Structure 1
Amino acid sequence: MLLLLIGSLTFTVVNAQDGSGELVSKKGFAILPEAGDIGLGINAVPVFGYFGNMMNGTAGNNISYNFVNGTNTIYGKYYLDATTAVRARIRLAKASTFDKEYVIKDLDVPDPLALVEDIYQIKSCNVQLGAGYELRRGKGRLQGFYGGEVLISYATGGTNYIYGNNYSPDFTTPSTTDFGTNITANGRVQETKTGKTVGMGLRAFIGTEYFFAPKISVAGEFGWGFAYVFTGRGEVTEESWNGTEIKTTVTKDLGGKGYNLDTDNLSGAIALIFHF
């Protein structure tokens, strides 16, 4: 269905060449990218799937503007000239969410109307950056491209717990909200930190791109690259009552590291690229 749609769209645009030999549409618009153009890629499958389903009357049909390979990374190009371009990938994500719950305040004389707050915070950070150089060749609408790129990633996260009731000689098991991961055999968690994960990679790529309309194309590629990933030590901070006072325990893991050398197909993505 995807090939049928591309073919039908291409058939409606008549090829022509101006006096310089540049490939143009019937209305005189350049079909291939030019120096200074920017290319922005999205996942082609939902778009062409929508038009295909529209033709066969599929119920509940919808369209979406998705990232190229499902990793929330923006994919783009800047053309230095008709045969060379620089590529970029970028994702900058930081999140913090809170869950607040009321719990009865610990008092010598319990009062169901006296409440305090327990707070559960989740934090995360995810950065993915890539830069590359692309060479292009081909005739007509079908273009081939190849080149190399450098990839860098960074990720970290953690949780914080703030409790309304503290440990004390009178309340050695303070009333506490069970958030699902904070209650332990000996006490309760105050904080967790995931080890900082840093990744670095080098990747060579080669692919094909077909322009079925002026400066609108579908593309796919294969790659071969090396990636090294290092994860620092994470830790969990726990508090408990040891019989006379509050005891704080910090447990650390060992982290890890690894590498990968392999071929890839950009997670099987088919990109729909708009040039402007």
Structure 2
Amino acid sequence: MKKIILVALLAISACKLATAQETAASQETVELRSKRGVLILPKKGEYAIGFSADPVLLYLGNFFSGGNQAPAVDYPSGFSNTVLGGRIGNAFTGKYLLDDHTAVRARFQFNFTKATNKYIVAANNDGTANNLAPQFAEDKVTIRNNAVLLALGLEKRRGASRVQGVYGGEILLGFNKVKEKADYGNGMGANFPTPVSYENAYNRIPGADSTTSRWTEYNHGATFFAGVRGFAGIEYFFAPKISLGAEFGYTLGFASKKSDSVKLQAMNNTSGNAVEYEAKPTPNNSTGINNFGLGLDNFNANLNLHFYF
């Protein structure tokens, strides 16, 4: 009788243990879903796109406060000679989930801008013009700014709730080039060795004769950037497959900027014609910049918004 009771107790204990293990296993595989049964967290094989959430939050704040500013994604026109990976904070992000807790990601910023400034100046006057009917000419300055910034990395995440911790590392590469070109309405020649031009035409370039030569092309030295960055942050899924998050990172990077160069226009005293020549760096001008360092980014606590699908 005692043996039967002992066997029964052992059987009951084994059943309870098996039930507990099944419950624990089922709890580990529970998937977080919305009230409508939609999965909230991203899964293996899904993609994501993201960008800075600051413009959207600004719009919502203006909406409830009576403002009417529409959301706009405003990216930097370029990047300075910096070693901080946070400069790419305002960029589009793409992700692909290798598994539920690992993703490869790419962030990129491609900016190609062209701006033209126009200046109205007095036309060259040979002394025969009618002062009561003055004539004018137009000077134009065109500025081209090309910037490419790219980050490739691996992202890991932890957590089973709406709040996910993210961390990982990435490689940063960048290039920035600015070029300015001036087109003058008044030509330079024997009759007009110093033609009327907009106010900065003759004093734009340090080290050049500011009374007899004017600039026609200004090439800002190209900047190259490379670095590695480690990051950590938080991502909160406030809706199914939609998250709001922020991250901080430390970047070890190197930036190199070449020296500027400029083309000038001036009179050739021998031929009596206007000529264009390239100015060389002078002792007072920088011949390039090299930066190397380690720094923390995202001091402004910029937020990002991601959509998974």
TM-score by length of 2: 0.71
Bigger proportion of residues as strand = 1
Answering whether residue 150 of structure 2 is matched by residue 132 of structure 1, we say no
CA contact under 8 A between 1:132 and 1:150: conserved in structure 2? Answer: yes
CA distance in structure 1 between the aligned counterparts of 2:65 and 2:279, rounded to whole angstroms: 57
Gaps of 5+ in 1: 1-16
CA distance in structure 2 between the aligned counterparts of 1:216 and 1:38, rounded to whole angstroms: 12
Report what 1:6 is aligned to: none
Q: How does 1:193-272 map onto structure 2 within 5 Å?
A: 193-241=219-267, 243-244=269-270, 245=272, 246=274, 248=277, 250-252=279-281, 253-265=286-298, 267-272=300-305
In the alignment, which of 160, 166, 181 is matched to residue 145 of structure 1?
Answer: 166
Deviation at 1:84, TM superposition (A): 0.9
1:45–1:82 distance in 2 versus 1, CA, 3 Å: same
Answering whether residue 42 of structure 2 is matched by residue 42 of structure 1, we say no
CA contact under 8 A between 1:133 and 1:148: conserved in structure 2? Answer: yes
Aligned-pair Cα RMSD in Å = 3.1
Answering whether residue 200 of structure 2 is matched by residue 181 of structure 1, we say yes
Which amino acid letter does the alignment assign opposite residue 21 of structure 1?
V
1:251–1:35 distance in 2 versus 1, CA, 3 Å: same
In the alignment, which of 91, 101, 104 is matched to residue 83 of structure 1?
Answer: 101
Report what 1:4 is aligned to: none
Which amino acid letter does the alignment assign opposite residue 205 of structure 1?
F
Q: What SS class does the counterpart of residue 193 from structure 2 fall into?
A: coil
Number of aligned pairs?
A: 256
Q: Deviations over 1:204-249 (max 9, x none)?
A: 1112222122112221222122010000111122222364444645
Q: What SS class does the counterpart of residue 24 from structure 1 fall into?
A: coil
Bigger proportion of residues as helix = 2
CA contact under 8 A between 1:131 and 1:151: conserved in structure 2? Answer: yes
Gaps of 5+ in 2: 1-25, 76-85, 204-209
Q: What percent identity do the matched residue pairs reach?
A: 33
